[in-house]
Amino acid sequence: MKKCEPAAIAYLGPPGTYSEQAASFYLNWLKSNQEIEATLSPYPTIAKSLQAVATEQADIAVVPVENSIEGSVSMTMDSLWQLDSLRIKLALVLPINHALISCANQLENIKIVYSHPQALAQCQSWLAKFLPNANLIARNSTTEALQGLPQAPETAAISSQRAAQLYNLPILASRINDYPDNCTRFWVVAKESTENNGFNPTHTSLAFSVPANLPGALVKALEVFAHLGINLSRIESRPTKRSLGEYLFFIDAEAAVSSPLMNSALAELNSSTEVLKIFGSYSVLTVTD
């Protein structure tokens, strides 16, 4: 973190999002453990919150990376690949409980439901059962549409109970996510690569491209981890955006980047990959109220 007071923590806004909840948890941790003053700064998209750190408009960004139901958040992954100066400092796991927020008198009156695409997808079975005819419209965040609900009683939004309280809006239905153990993993991202918030790193996130789309190219890279006995908790591909059929591969390894095993793995990967990027080594915390 650059030495300025107070530090700015970027997150996907407006206020009331799950990103703000995760960022608030991290802010409280900073205050209680390091006595650092900080403020929360909302941004309209995940990409812009990460770009704010890269351009030093903010010191830290707290961004979602993976949901237990809908998988990875592509905007976070793509932005980290593009912004070489950013490093993951910590991972936060936040339980997610969606609520249907609306000024409608009853569910039957709702014609439109707004929310972030991930939230809409996490509630798709509930929506199909209770609001089969509603038009589902994606927004940049779960709270972007909340301020307009009082003026449009035929609309609703999927967001958190905390957001409903913050905007003083009624909840028509609670815990509407299709799976009760819904949770989202967030990354705390900064420009520095030396601090680890006082925790011993347990995971390392990286990504790479292979020299050519040939049989065995990916297997060769993954075998590096297999023969060293390093468990991979996540493997995912993303398009390189250069040509159809070309991919980047994102990996979470259960080992610290400074460990002898990871040092060996990275040395071997350098010879079997085209571009190799280390996003950071970090520990994982569960967010509590």
The region, left, alpha or beta by phi > 0 then psi within -120 to 50, assigned to residue 182 is beta
Q: What is the mean pLDDT of residues 207-233?
A: 86
pLDDT tens, position by position, 135-187: 999 999 999 999 899 999 999 999 999 999 999 999 999 999 999 899 999 99
Number of separate helices (H) and strands (E) present in the chain = 8, 16
Instruction: Name residues whose C-beta falls within 8 Å of residue 282's C-beta, 6 or more positions apart in sequence.
Output: 88, 89, 90, 91, 187, 188, 196, 199, 201, 202, 203, 204, 205
As given in the structure block, the two tokens for residue 257 are: 């980047």
* 3-class secondary-structure state, position 220: helix
pLDDT tens, position by position, 13-26: 999 999 999 999 99
Other CB atoms within 10 A of residue 52 CB? 20
Q: Which of 43, 47, 38 is nearest to 10 (CA)?
A: 43
Q: Is 182 within 8 Å of 122 (Cβ atoms)?
A: yes
Please give the pLDDT value at position 200: 86
Residue where the block lists tokens 């309209």: 44
Helix, strand, coil percent values for the chain (each to nearest 5):
30, 35, 35
Q: How confident is the model at residue 1 (pLDDT cuts 50, 70, 90)?
A: very low
> Would the pTM of this model clear 0.75, i.e. be above it?
yes
Q: Which domains does the chain have, with CATH numbers?
A: 7-95+182-191 (3.40.190.10), 98-174 (3.40.190.10), 203-281 (3.30.70.260)
Q: How confident is the model at residue 111 (pLDDT cuts 50, 70, 90)?
A: very high
DSSP 157: E
